[in-house]
Amino acid sequence: MQFALDDTTLELHQGDITRLTVDAIVNAANSGLRGGGGVDGAIHRAGGPAIMAECRRIGGCPTGQAVVTGGGDLPARYVIHTVGPIWQGGGRGEPELLRSAYAASLLRAEELDVTSIAFPSISTGVYGYPIALACGIAVGTVIEHVQRGTALQHIIFCLFSAGDYAVYEKHLSNVARNP
């Protein structure tokens, strides 16, 4: 599924983010940039040791922020590592921190002068953020960024599971009908 918003195409994709040929992929990282499970582990495994070596040099990343490494052995030139919040019920600033993680990733992409980027669903795996709530924040933050003007021509939301894809598909269908 995809639709145009200004000069940018928003696309929904189900599959493995490490296989996408885009300028940058976003990693749902932990604050120590140590690799881990889920999408973080998949990116480190597919990208090889060069990504971890750069992460060690960087040292860490606070929740809601983003840092950049090269793509290593990935088809993407860059990995933008962002740290989303751990879900604690929604009353501890989680929505703002998640919005900040997406916004910081988009800012890093603009600084890199890339035209295509792929996002996983940040914080919805082991960090436990409810997918329906996270989806609204993700899509809303990206749309706000595009509407302010961007060099990004192609933004992909890459979901690994069919269930997560269905949540994003429903949300994006509503957005496409009611821009």
Would you list the domain boundaries of the chain? 2-177
In the sheet with 2-5, reading across from the earlier edge strand, the strands are 2-5, 8-14, 154-159, 116-119, 24-28, 78-82, 66-70
Backbone phi, then psi, for 98, in 5-degree steps?
Answer: -70, -45
Structurally, what CATH architecture does the domain formed by 2-177 represent? 3-Layer(aba) Sandwich (3.40)
For position 179, what pLDDT does the model report? Answer: 61
Residue pair 99/112 in contact by the 8 Å Cβ criterion: no
Taking 90 as the threshold, does the pLDDT of residue 177 lie above it? Answer: no
| 162-178 average pLDDT score | 91
Mean pLDDT estimate for the chain: 96
Mean pLDDT of 91-106: 98
List, for residues 73-97, the tens digit of each pLDDT value.
999 999 999 999 999 999 999 999 9
Residues that are catalytic: 40
